[in-house]
Structure formats: structure tokens, C-alpha cells
Amino acid sequence: MIGKEVIETKPISGAEVKEILEDFSNDNELNYEQNLTLNHLARFKRYSIEDSKEIVEKLQDEFGLRDKVAVHIVDLAPKDLADLRLIFAKEPKKIEKEEMEKILEFLEQYDIEE
């Protein structure tokens, strides 16, 4: 990547990445890494893009989570406390069990697309 520099980084959900790659592939040929990423994203169930953005926003506002953690939660769609604990394992901010249960209840409001 000679001559290129990163201007901004922002975590985005897998649903958004999938849409970006699909749109890009309509006009361009995907390279090897892009093809692998698109194939990987197509294999797993995901929230819709609208739901993903809404969930990330609410996780940040209501639960005070960082962008990166909120996006991990959306991408992994945890179903129980054990899964959610793994996401928070390396977080400096300690999350209480009650708050994790509230997050799981919140996620149950949204449907995962097949």
C-alpha cells in the first residue's frame, strides 16, 4: 500500500461490510481478501443493516459501550451470558451481570436475518 495512508478508522458491523463489498463487486472485481471476507460474511446470520446501526447506537447511548464493543456484540449476536462475557473479557470497564442481562434482553427485540 505504497502511497496510501489511513485517514480515519471506524468499526462497522459485518452487515455493513457485506453491503459495501457487494456494491463494490457490481462495478469492480474483488481481490482475494475481499472475496474471502464476502464469503465468510455470507455464511453467518446477521442483523439487518438498519438494525445493526440502531443496536450499536443504543448500546453506546444506553449502556455506555465503546464503538468497538458495540460492533462486536452486533456481529457475534450473543445468546447467553457466557457468550457476552467473552466479548467483555478484555474490557477495562467491568460490566456487572445485571447489565449484561439487560443487554441480552435488549438484543432479543431484534430479529436475525438468515
Q: What is the DSSP string of 55-92?
A: HHHHHHHHH---HHHHHHHHHH---SHHHHHHHHTT-S
Indicate whether 28 belongs to any domain: yes
Give domain status of residue 3, yes or no.
no
Determine contact, residues 107/59, Cβ cutoff 8 Å.
Answer: no
| Structural domain harbouring 96 | 8-114
- Residue 44 placed within a domain: yes
Query: What pLDDT sits at residue 4?
Result: 82
Q: Which CATH number covers residue 110?
A: 1.20.1250.40
Mean pLDDT computed over 84-109: 92
Integer Cα distance of 55 and 49 in angstroms: 10
Q: What is the pTM of this model?
A: 0.85
pLDDT of residue 31: 94
- Count structural domains, the chain: 1
Tens digits of residue pLDDT in 32-60: 999 999 999 999 878 999 999 999 999 99
Q: With respect to residue 2, please indicate whether it lies within any of the assigned structural domains.
A: no
